[in-house]
Amino acid sequence: MREIIDEMRRMIDESEGGALVTITRTQGSTYRREGAKMLCLKSGAMIGSISGGCLESDAYEISLEVVERNEPQIVFYDTSAEDENVWGLGLGCNGSVEVLIEPMAWWRSGEGRILFGQMMGRVDKGDRCALVTLLVKDGERLTGLRRMIVDPDGKTTGALGSLGLDSAAARRAQTIVTDETVRPSRKVTIDLDTSAYEIFVDALLPPTRLLVAGGGHDAIPMVKFAREMGLVVTLIDSRPKFATHDRFPGADQIVCAQPEEFAQRVSLEGRPAVILMNHHYLKDRAVLGQLLTSPLELTYIGALGPRVRTEKMISDLREQGLTLVEEKVRAVRTPVGLDVGADSPEEIAVSVLSELLAVKNKRSGLPLRERNKAIHQAA
């Protein structure tokens, strides 16, 4: 999602061209889910994806027509065919995908620029919101786009066409954007008076912030892979020669600070994830003490090194008279990462980031073949 946002910031200032493709509904087994996006650039390039590679080319060809007509289009793909070719390919994915393909020209309009600015303001601050798009009325697809933004408190920006519809859509969107237990983005139907409206509620969730404490050699792939996963990465190290953008070109922020200054120099707001990898006992202990005494929630705390090392750090902190948040103490992941036999810095980064992802998404980290229910929870 981050690469989509960054590219849209650039594309919105271009004079013409480009299209945005968004999955609005899925059924059965599909590679991507509702809310997944792809940008089709005028140059022929594509940013993001809506499948494992089987739908992108066709969607791009349709996007050329959408841009030329300056009119959005809803396209349905059935990938479940086993005995026939789909666009020349026997996909057999046992699912279907509906996508909205819209010209970037809408986002360059006065209304579009206002909503984009409002959305980016929320995303940049780490706030959740929902972009609600009216797609169909009484079975008829609309030729234009009507949109509004809904905040978790129900506040709205923009309009769908009537006060009644706006109010009903805002209530549905507010429920969706505040519920973290179900798939966030989804298409819903609203029956109002004598009409039926289909709207797409696109939940925009702030990316997870990752604080990497320690700029050693093994932090290089950790920062690189985390950034490619879409995390907002801050690298913190007390050594000026290590805390550099040349060493960590993918980091969103680099802070050169002593470990005792960690909580003062780096914000713990917004439930960030933290990985301790200073490879220095006193430095890691100083940072861990600030994490375990803070009242602010954290998505993940991982500490490199053996379990006994981390347990000793916690014991030392108690002996210093610090009052630790016991829930956080129990949440510390040590040894850090999933048991995949990781050895090299790159493998360790994959192991740790996989565990972080599992914790963030409240998953077990077990092989999917051992999961006896659907991978994705239905909306």
For 263-320, the pLDDT digits (tens) are 999 999 989 999 999 999 999 999 999 999 999 999 999 999 999 999 999 999 999 9
**Paired tokens of 294:** 């803070």
Q: Which spans in the chain are helix H?
A: 2-11, 56-69, 105-108, 110-125, 163-178, 219-228, 262-265, 281-293, 307-319, 326-331, 345-360
Instruction: Give the pLDDT band of residue 96 (cuts 50, 70, 90).
Output: confident
CATH number at residue 278: 3.40.50.720
Q: How many C-beta atoms lie closer than 10 Å to residue 302's C-beta? A: 24
Predicted structure pTM score: 0.81
The sign one gets for the Cα dihedral 135, 48, 218, 234 is negative
Same domain? 249 vs 356: yes
Same domain? 230 vs 250: yes
Decide if pLDDT at 185 tops 80. Answer: yes
Same domain? 49 vs 168: no
Q: What residues are paired with 199 via a beta bridge?
A: 134, 188
Same domain? 294 vs 278: yes
Give the model's pLDDT for residue 89.
47
In a domain, 118, yes or no: no
Q: Are the C-beta atoms of 251 and 224 separated by less than 8 Å?
A: no
Distance, CA of 63 to CA of 48 (rounded, Å): 15
In a domain, 339, yes or no: yes
Same domain? 188 vs 46: no
In this structure, the strands spanning 156-158 and 140-150 are antiparallel
In a domain, 367, yes or no: no
**What single letter denotes the amino acid at residue 364?**
S
Same domain? 330 vs 220: yes
Would you list the DSSP string of 245-306?
TTT-TT-SEEEE--GGGHHHHS--TT--EEEE--S-HHHHHHHHHHHHH-SS--SEEEE-S-
- How many structural domains compose the chain? 3
Nearest to residue 273, comparing CAs of 357, 363, 184, 181? 357
> What average pLDDT does this structure show over 99-107?
96
User: Which residue carries 């600030």 as its tokens?
Assistant: 290
Same domain? 216 vs 355: yes
Q: Are the C-beta atoms of 307 and 280 separated by less than 8 Å?
A: no
Averaged confidence pLDDT in the chain: 90
In a domain, 51, yes or no: yes
Same domain? 186 vs 248: no
Who wins on pLDDT, 26 or 376?
26
Residue 367: exposed, middle, or buried by beta-carbon count in 10 A (0-12, 13-18, 19+)?
A: exposed
Distance, CA of 48 to CA of 21 (rounded, Å): 9
Who wins on pLDDT, 26 or 326?
326
Distance, CA of 72 to CA of 141 (rounded, Å): 10
Nearest to residue 31, comparing CAs of 96, 76, 83, 119? 96
In a domain, 93, yes or no: yes
Same domain? 172 vs 259: no
Distance, CA of 225 to CA of 5 (rounded, Å): 19
Provide the residue range defining the domain that includes 63: 1-108
End of a domain among 166, 181, 206? 206
Same domain? 94 vs 150: no
Same domain? 29 vs 42: yes
In a domain, 42, yes or no: yes
Peptide bond into 335 cis (omega under 30): yes
Q: Are the C-beta atoms of 19 and 46 separated by less than 8 Å?
A: no
Same domain? 66 vs 136: no
End of a domain among 206, 232, 250? 206
In a domain, 374, yes or no: no
End of a domain among 77, 108, 139? 108
Angle at 357 between CA 351 and CA 359, to 5 degrees: 105
Distance, CA of 293 to CA of 324 (rounded, Å): 5
Highest mean pLDDT (candidates 79-83, 101-105, 365-369): 101-105
Give the model's pLDDT for residue 125.
82
In a domain, 142, yes or no: yes
Distance, CA of 285 to CA of 59 (rounded, Å): 52
